[in-house]
Structure 1
C-alpha cells in the first residue's frame, strides 16, 4: 500500500490534497495557530480550581461534559451563558483515560496509578444513575486489567452498531487469557536473528503481542481480541464508513536505527497485526505477516483520535480524522482516500501552539470541536474550535466508489471466518490468498489460521504467487517442522525472487522451526539466496543478508563489508522518516536530536548489515575483522536517538564471543575504550556563586517573573551542567539519557509545571523513568530501574547519574515488589543557585538549550 509521509518535499502536495492551511501566525490571545475562518475559545482551566490535569472528555445526552483528571477524580461540567459549572463526582473512581457516554450510562476505562488514593484498579467500569435522580451514583466493575501508566489501558469508542464497545491498550497491558481472538495467539518474536533488547531496559520484559484493541458488549460480558501489534496507541475512532483508525507512537530512543518507526496512522481492520516487537525485533511494514500504517508523521507523542463526522466545519473536514500530538502541541487532519478495501491518508496541520499538550478531543453536539490539554499534571484547559468562515458546511454525502464498496464488502465477508470455524469456508479463503488487495489477503490468511489446520495445510497452491507466500506464513504459524520444511522447499524449488514477501516467508518458516534445518534443506536455501545478495532494493537486501548470516555463510562477509565501506548514500525513504512539514515552519518544536541526526545521519542500512554479520561465527580473516571493527568507530561518530550509541555498542558486543581467543583481547579493548569514553560535562563550567536556598516551586516562579537581570545564555548552560541536570537529561543533543530529553520541554510545560518538576521531582514520575523497589528475604531493599528480568535474575541500574552501575538479584529472593514513590532525581540539586542563576537555568530549559534571539 502506498503511504503518505509528512515531508518537506511533500509539503506542496499535502497543501493541495488536504484542507489548505493559510494562517501562519496566531490570531488569538492563546497563541494558537488556526486555519483561516476558524475561531477558538478557552472555556475552562481546571488547575485554577485544583481539579487536576484533564486527559479524557465526553458529552452526555443533555449536552453536559464529563472529564477525568489523569491521576484523580471524574468531573461533570455544565456550559451555560456564564462561567462553567464544574463538580466532582462523589464516587471512588477516576484516572479514566477513556470515557464513553451511551444509553444513559458513563463508561470509563481506568488507567490506575499505583499511588492513587481512590482504591481503584485499572479496568473497565460502568457508572449509572441507579435511582433516576439525574445523578450518577453507582459504579459497576465490568473487568479489571493488569497494566497501568503511560502504556496502560487508554481509550473507549462506541462501535458503529451501537451495541458494542472497543477499547485500546498500550503494550504494557496484559491481554486477558480468556478473550476469544481473531488472530492466532501463539505469537513469538519471529525474528530470524537474535533480538537485541533496548539498552535502557524499556519494554524488554514484554510479550510479543504489543498494544491491542478488544471489542465487548455493553455489559462487558463477551470479549473479542480485535487487533494486536501496536506500540502504544492512545485512542481510536470510527470514520463514516464504520472503519477503525488509530495513531501509534514511535520509540524516539531508536532514531537513526533500521528498526525505527515514526509515529503513524493505522487502519485497524479486524484481525490486524502491526508487528511491534521489543528492541530490534520490530517487523518491517512490508512483511506479509503484518499490516502497514497508512501515513507516517515523523516524531511526536500521539494521544487523541477523533472522526470529523458531525462537525459544522467545511465539508472536507467532516470526512476525515483528527490526530492529536501531545509533545509538540499539534492537531493534524488526515484526509482519507480510498485504496482498495483500505485507505491512504494525506496529512496536514490543523492547529498548533506552544505549549499545547493535547490529550483528547470530541465532536460536540453543537457541531464544534472540543479539545483538552494537560496530562502528567501539566496545566490543563478545555478549548472549543468554531468555524465562522464562508465555505460550505454541508454534510458530506456518502460517495465511496463502487469498487471500494465491493472490496470492503468482500473483506468483511472474509473477516467473519476469523471468529468461526467452518470447514466449508476453506476453499473460499484459499481463493483470496492471491487477491491483489493486501488487506483482503491478510484477512483471508488470518481467517484460514483460525480454521482446523488439517482442512487446509496440505492444499496445493500455485507456485510463485501471493497465495504461496500467504500459505507459507500460515504454515509457519500453525504447522509442524515437517510441514514448515515442505513449505520452505516449495519456496526455494524454483529460485525465490528478490522481493520482500518471499524472503520474509522464508525467514518466518526458519525462525519458527523447533529443530535445526536439515543439512540438504539448509544447503539448498543457501544456494538459492546467494545469487540475490545485494541485488535488490535496500529493504530486501537487508533481509537476504540476515538469512545468509543465519545460515553462517561466511562468503558474504567481504561483499557486505565492501557495501558498508563504499555505499554511503542515505536513501530519501530513510530521510522521510524524520522530515515533517512542521520542521519547515517551526522547527523549534522538534527535538534537536532529530536536527542533529539529519546533519550527521547514520546509515541505517549499514547498521542492519553490521548486526547480521555479528552472528557469523567462523570464516573471518584478520583483515575482515579489522574492517568490521573499524566500521563501529565511524558509526559511533554519527548522531541518533538516546540509545543510538548503546545499540551500536551492543551489536559490537554480539560479535566479540566469536573472535578467536588469541585475538579477542585486542578487539575487546577497542570496544571498552570507546564505551568508557565519557564526556566531561563540567569542563570550563562556572560554578554557582549563590547564596542558594531551599527552592520551592513558588520561589522559582516568583524569581522568574521578576526577571532579575537579563537572562544569560552561557549562565543558563553553566547552571544546567553545574546542577548536574546534564548527567541525566539531554539538551540540544548533548547529555545523559536516564531522564527525559528536555530539548522540547517548552512546547508542553508551563513555568508552573517546570518549577514543580524541579522543586518536587517525586510529584510526577513518568513510568519510563520510575524505579522499582524489591524487598528481599534477608530484609534488604534494592531500588533501581529494571534492565532485564530473565532466567530467574533481575538486573537493575541503581544510579541515575551512572546508569552503567548495575546490580543483579535473584528472583527467588524477592518477597515484595513495588513501584518506588521517590523519583530517581534527588531533591535539592538546584539549592546552590541564587535568584539570577535560577532565572538563567529556567530560561535555558524553556528555550530548549537554544540561543533564541527574542529572549537572549
Structure 2
C-alpha cells in the first residue's frame, strides 16, 4: 500500500499565480509507475495529463436545473442525471445518429428525483433516492425503477422497489452498481440507514460496539445516536425481492465499482473533525470482500485498521470528501488508464487514478493525481459508449457542470479486453471458495475452513473466519482445543467471543493465555490482545479476581517495552482491568516524544497532502506542525478510566498533560474531545480536589477561547446584501483586498464563533479552510444570504416536539436511557437543555439553518470583499488572490 503522487503540484500552483488564460505547462518528473503520463497541461483552469482534452459541455445552473450528482447512460447513448434536490434529466448527445448542433436536455416527466445513484440496465432506469427535507418532491428515500410503460420512447412509469424510513441527510442511500454477471445490483448505503430486519447477510449478525473502554461521543453531536454496524452494501436481485448484506462498517461510502477481476471496491469518507486523534481514519479505498467489516463506530469507538475483526483500507489518501468511483474499462485512453479505478474527491477538486496490483487475494495500490481544479467539486462519472469519460461537478447546490474528457495524444487508444489478472488468481479463488460458505451451511467443509484460519493472507484468513461463523456454532466451538497454531487459536477465540456463552469465553480465555504471545510477530500480538479484549467485552458476568490476576501476570511484563500499537492496546486492556501499576510508566511516555512522528502522521495523512493541493493541503500541513502525539491522547483516554493507584504527584503530572494538549491544534473537535477526556478523568478525583486539577488546564482553555481579542468592528455603512449585490461588490473590489482586514471581519461578523479556518474558530458549523476549492463567489453569496437553502446533515438541527406545544431545536450532545442533552445555540454550544425521552411526541429535521442570515449586513463593500477574499484564500495570506490585488 503506497500513496504515489507523481504530479509536482507546487510548481503548478506557482504557475497558476502567473497565468490568467489557458497555458501549456510542460512539466516532467520521474515516475515509478510505468505507463503513466507525466507531463501536464492546464485547460480551462483544470490540470489534466498531456494529450487529453477537456470540454465543459453543459451548465445545469444556467438553465435552472439544479446541481447534478449522479449519471448513467442508456443503450442509445443518452445520459441521465439527477439534481441532488430536484428532478431527473435526459441528455441527448450530438453524434452521427443524432445530428444536433449541441446536446439537448429535457426533464423527465416523472415525479421522482433526488437520486444519488442512477443505473441503466435492460430498459430500466434504476434510481436510488436520498430524500431529506424537501419542498418540491414528495418521495421517500429508497430504490425505484423507471420504465417506458406506454412504449412511446419516454420514461413514464415509476415503481417502488424498497423504501427506507426516516431522514438520513447526506448519509443515506447513495449509488448503484451492476454486478459483473449483470444479474444482480449492488447498492451502497450510508451509516444513518439501519439495516432492516429480515435481510439475509453474509456478515454474521453479531455485530456490536466492541470497545473495551467507554466510547466518548462526538462533541459536535454528529452521528452520536448511530450504533454498529454503520454504512453497508447490499447485493440484490433485479426486482429487489432478495436483499443480502454484503459488507458493513463503513462510514459514508458514496460510490462502489468492480474491477476486471470481479472484485468490489468502495471509496470511504473520513471524519475531518477528528483530525489528529488516534481514532481518526483517512479517506480510503476499500476492497469490499464478502462478509467484510470495516470498523466504523461513533465517536472514539472506531476500530484501528490493525484489529483482526475488521479489514483495512488498501490505500489511504488523507483528508477529503470521496464521491464518485469508476472503473476505467472501456475508455479510449492509453492502455494504462483503462486498467484501474478513478476516485473522485469533492472537497479537494481532485480525481485520482488507482492502479491495482494483485497481492495475495487482495491488491496493492499506486495512487496518482489524474485531474484537478479549483473549484472543481467532483460528484460522479461514467465511461461513455464513445470511450470518453463524462463526469459531473456540483452537489450541495454548488455550480454544476457536465464535462467530457477525451484523449487526442499519440499513444494507442484501442480499447482493451481486460481479462482477469493471472497474478493472484489462485489466491482469489481460494478466498471465493471460502466466501461461498458465507451463504451456505456445509458441515463437511469445516476442516477446509479451519485449515485456512491461519492463512498468511489477511483477506483469506478473514473470509475463513466469516465462513466458520456462518456455520452452526455447535460444529466448531470445540475446535480451539485441538489447535496447535497460535494464530488459529487466536482466530477461534475471536469467533467464540462473538458467538459463545460466558462459560465458553472463560474456558477459551484459559486456552488463549497458554500462548507465549510475546514471541509472536507484532500483527499476531495485536490479534492476541484484541481476542482478549473481545472475550472481556462480550462477557456479561463479573470477572473473578483470579482471572484478572492471571491476565495481569501475562500482560504486564510487556508494558511498556513494546511497540506503539502494542503499548496502546495493553494500556486500554490494563486500564479496563484497573491495574494501577501502569500509571507511572504511562506518564513517563506521555512526558516525552511530544513531537508527532512521521509514522503517527501517516495514520491520518498518508502521503504528501501538499502535493495534492498546494494551497489547501499546505494549510493542513501547517496544522500538523502543532499537533500533539496521538499516541499520548490514547494513553490519556485509557488512564481517564483508572480509579485506583493515583497519588497527588501522579495526578498533577497527568492533569498537566491536558494543559499542554489544549495548546495544540487538531480537527474541529480536537479541544472538545480533550476536555471530555479530562472531564471523565475528573470523576475519579475526590470531589474536594477536582477544582484544583481542573484548573491546571484553564490557562490553555482561556488562550484557545480568546478569539475576539483586538477585533475592530466594521465602519459600514452596511446594507441588506443580496447575492447580486455581493457579487457586484466583490467584482468592484477584488483587486484591492486586504488579508488582515478579511481576517478581522471573519471575527467581527461572528463567523469565527461557529466556523474555523486553519484550525482557528468554533466547530458548530462547517470548517471553511477548503471553501475556495469547491465554492465560487456565487455559491458563497447564496450560502451566506440563504443559509437554509442547503444544510449538511452534520450541522442540521432537530426539532423535538414536546407536550403543550413546546419545541426544542438543537443537536444531541449526550444521551442516556431516559434523557437527551440538547445544544440549542450554535454560537454557544455549551448552552444545553435536558429533555425527557418519554416527553418527545415527535421529532423532525429542522428546515432552518442554525446560522442566521444577515450577519454580514453591517459590512460595507470593501469590508465584505475583504471577508470574501479571506474565505476564498482559506486564511492563507500568501494566496494568489492577494498577489493579484497588488
TM range (shorter): over 0.9
* 1:377, distance to aligned residue in structure 2 (A): 0.2
Q: Does the C-alpha gap of structure 1 residues 610 and 8 become closer, same or farther in structure 2, counting only changes over 3 Å?
A: farther
- Residues in 1 aligned to 2:743 and 2:557: alpha-carbon distance in whole angstroms: 55
Report the counterpart of residue 56 of structure 1 in structure 2: 70
1:843 to 862, 869, 875: 869
Give runs of aligned pairs for residues 240-251 of structure 1, distance below 5 A.
Answer: 240-251=260-271
Q: Superposed, which structure 2 residues align to 1:352-431 within 5 Å?
A: 352-396=372-416, 398=418, 402=422, 404-431=424-451
Partner of 1:692: 718
Q: How does 1:662-677 map to 2 (within 5 A)?
A: 662-671=688-697, 675=701
Give the distance between the partners of 1:855 and 1:790, measured in 2 at CA: 54
Deviations 1:53-102 (A, max 9, x none): 00000000000000000000000011114221111111111000000000
Distance 1:716 1:571, change over 3 A: closer
Q: Write the deviation string for residues 36-57 of structure 1: whole angstroms up to 9, x where unpaired.
A: 1111001000000000000000
Report how far residue 399 of structure 1 moved: 6.4
2:568 alignment partner, one of 518, 532, 542: 542
In the alignment, what sits opposite 2:849?
823
Give yes or no for the alignment of 1:107 onto 2:121.
no
Does 2:755 align with 1:729? yes
Residue 747 (1) aligns with residue 773 (2): yes
Note the 1:261-300 alignment, pairs <5 A.
261-300=281-320
**TM-score (normalised: structure 1):** 0.96
1:743-767, CA deviations, whole angstroms, 9 ceiling, x for partnerless residues? 1101100111000011111111111
Could you say what secondary structure the match of 1:434 adopts? coil
Deviation digits for residues 181-230 of structure 1, max 9, x if unmatched?
A: 11111211111111111111111110110100001000000010000000
1:342-374 Cα offsets, whole Å, 9 max, x none, are 111110000000000000010011111110000
Could you tell me whether the CA contact under 8 Å between 2:186 and 2:233 is conserved in 1? yes
Shift of 1:425: 2.1
Deviations 1:102-136 (A, max 9, x none): 00010000000222421100000000111211110
Cα gap change, 1:725 to 1:372, in 2 (>3 Å)? same
Aligned to 2:354: 334
CA–CA distance in 2 between the matches of 1:104 and 1:210? Answer: 33
- The within-5 A match list for 1:73-472 is 73-80=87-94, 81-146=100-165, 147-396=167-416, 398=418, 402=422, 404-459=424-479, 460-472=481-493
Compare 221-230 and 73-82 and name the one that shifted more. Answer: 73-82
Task: Give me the CA root mean square deviation.
Answer: 2.0
Which residue in 1 is equivalent to 2:672?
646
Q: What is the DSSP-based 3-state SS (H/G/I as helix, E as strand, rest coil) of the residue aligned with 1:347?
A: strand
Residue 46 of structure 1 corresponds to which residue in structure 2?
A: 60
Relative distance call for 1:466 and 1:398 in structure 2 (3 A) is farther
What is the distance in 2 between the residues matched to 1:93 and 1:439? 40
Distance 1:537 1:708, change over 3 A: closer
Is this contact kept in 2: 1:591–1:732, CA < 8 A?
no
- What is the aligned partner in structure 2 of residue 15 from structure 1? 31
1 CA distance for matches of 2:589 and 2:662?
18
Q: Number of matched residues?
A: 851
User: What is the distance in 1 between the residues matched to 2:64 and 2:512?
Assistant: 65
Shift of the 716–25 alpha-carbon distance from structure 1 to 2, 3 Å rule, reads farther
Please tell me whether residue 482 in structure 1 is matched to residue 503 in structure 2. Answer: yes
Aligned match for 1:31, one of 34, 39, 45: 45
Q: Is the 8 A contact 2:293 2:311 kept in 1?
A: yes
Change (3 A) 1:334 1:629: same
Return the alpha-carbon distance in structure 1 between the equivalents of residues 648 and 60 of structure 2.
67
Distance 2:657 2:766 in 1: 30
For the structure 1 residues 783 and 302, does the alpha-carbon distance in structure 2 shift closer, same or farther, using more than 3 Å as the test? same
Q: 1:806 aligns with which of 832, 842, 856?
A: 832
Q: Cα distance 1:632–1:428, how it changes in 2: closer, same or farther (>3 A)?
A: same
In 1, Cα distance between equivalents of 2:344 and 2:7: 23
Partners of 1:6 and 1:296 within 8 A in 2: no
Cα distance change, pair 85–689 in 1 and its aligned pair in 2 (3 A): same
* Distance of 1:513 and 1:455 partners within structure 2: 21
State whether residues 554 and 619 of structure 1, in contact with CA within 8 Å, keep that contact through their aligned partners in structure 2.
Answer: yes
**Aligned residue for 1:5?**
3
Residue 659 of structure 1 is aligned with which of 682, 685, 699?
Answer: 685
Matches within 5 A, 1:708-727: 710-727=736-753
Per-residue deviation at 1:646? 1.0
Residue 601 of structure 1 corresponds to: 627
Structure 1 range deviating more: 547-556 or 389-398: 389-398
Give the distance between the partners of 2:827 and 2:103, measured in 1 at CA: 46
C-alpha separation in 2, matches of 1:668 and 1:682: 24
Counterparts of 1:179 and 1:143, CA distance in 2: 12
How far residue 835 of structure 1 moved from its aligned partner, in angstroms, is 1.5
Q: 223-232 or 172-181, which moves further after superposition?
A: 172-181
Whether the aligned pair in 1 keeps the contact of 2:36 and 2:336 (CA below 8 Å) is no
What SS is found at the alignment partner of 1:418?
A: coil
Q: 1:708 to 1:186 in 2, by over 3 A?
A: closer
CA distance in 1, matches of 2:104, 2:295: 45
CA shift for structure 1 position 814? 1.5
Q: How far apart, in 1, do the equivalents of 2:811 and 2:735 lie?
A: 40
Say if 1:18 and 1:347, in contact at 8 Å, map to a contact too.
no
The partner residue of 2:733 within 707, 732, 740 is 707
- Stretches of structure 1 that go unaligned for 5 or more consecutive residues are none
Q: Name 1:855's counterpart in structure 2.
A: 884
Mean Cα displacement is larger for which, 575-584 or 211-220? Answer: 575-584
Structure 2 equivalent of residue 791 of structure 1? 817
Change (3 A) 1:713 1:672: closer
- Counterpart contact for 1:264–1:293, Cα < 8 Å: yes
Deviation at 1:586, TM superposition (A): 3.4
Counterpart Cα distance in 2 of 1:571 and 1:713: 32
Cα distance in structure 1, aligned partners of 2:29 and 2:325: 23
Note the C-alpha offset of 1:248.
0.5
2:630 corresponds to 1:632: no
Q: Distance in 2 between matches of 1:469 and 1:612?
A: 24
Cα contact 1:711–1:855 (8 A) shared by 2: no
Do the aligned residues in 2 keep the contact of 1:205 with 1:788 (CA within 8 Å)? no
Q: Which moved more, 1:464-473 or 1:827-836?
A: 464-473
Query: Is the CA contact 1:14–1:348 (under 8 Å) kept in the aligned structure 2?
Result: no
Distance (whole Å) between structure 1 residues aligned to residue 357 and residue 177 of structure 2: 23
Shift of 1:789: 3.7
Unaligned runs of 5+ residues in structure 2 are 10-27, 95-99
Give the CA deviation at 1:496.
2.3
SS of structure 1 residue aligned to 2:363: strand
